[in-house]
Amino acid sequence: MKSEIKAYAKVNLFLDITGRLENGYHTLNTVMQQIGLYDVVTAEISDGDGISIECDNLAVPCNEKNIAYKAAAAFLSETGNKAKIHINISKNIPLEAGMGGSSTDGAAVLKLLNEMYGCPLTIGKLCDIGASLGADVPFCITGGTAVCTGIGEIMKPVGCLKNYVFLVVKPDFSCSTPAGYRAYDENPLPENNNFENFIAELPCGAEKWADKMYNVFEKLYDDERISEITDTMRKNGAIGSILTGSGSAVFGIFSNENTAQKACEFIEAPFKCITFPE
């Protein structure tokens, strides 16, 4: 039996660190938005035992370190099934971008296997399993627009008028997530007090909130290369532009596809994508 599913990327419209737990994890206030960029994940189930991963991007680990592998193992353990599972990942989401590329592949495996086995697990249970694999996995299971707190696993869907277009850029450098959190631990920034107001304006259209987007990692990195991209987007029609996740991808919000396409021409980067909220 063989089936495939789209694994959608996410961006953070708002991302703030609110504290550090004793176990080393950090608490967050964030708004995640699913976007139209996606990987394609295929699962094949046959008699036997074992999990194997195949990917067209050689930088992706095809072993038990891959969240997709962990997701398949967790699903089999939870349901008590025994099978030989082969997973193929066709990557379109850039790596080390802050767009949930690994998490969404793991989420896709959980959803796909659940469908292939006749949906023995509820969405809530899939999210519980996902939370054990990574903080972004539950959101990648549910998608849409959501306010996420805790370490990112506590989700509340929110209404958001999707009258806008994304231009996503992944520059030719990566950002170190551990280094970003270390910078916070060494010199914590005050909590952004605009979070609730930002959430309240989401249903009012991007013109109301796009210029109020926030990502604490921009301040922690203080990287001129990131600022150059966001400034270029704003100068060329973006009504808001910030880093997503812990980076290094940057996105801009535009009122229409034509304006986003024109702005794209002013930015040099190995990965550029015009897409829409999902």
Q: Which residues are catalytic?
A: 10, 136
CA distances (Å), origin 26, targets 43, 146, 181, 188, 273: 33, 19, 8, 11, 30
Q: How far apart are CA 11 and CA 18, in angstroms?
A: 19
- List strand residue ranges (DSSP E) for the chain, in order: 2-20, 26-46, 50-55, 84-90, 145-149, 154-157, 165-170, 214-215, 240-243, 250-254, 271-275
- List strand residue ranges (DSSP E) for 68-120, in order: 84-90
CA-nearest of 138, 180, 150 to 19 is 150
Q: How far apart are CA 232 and CA 19, in angstroms?
A: 32
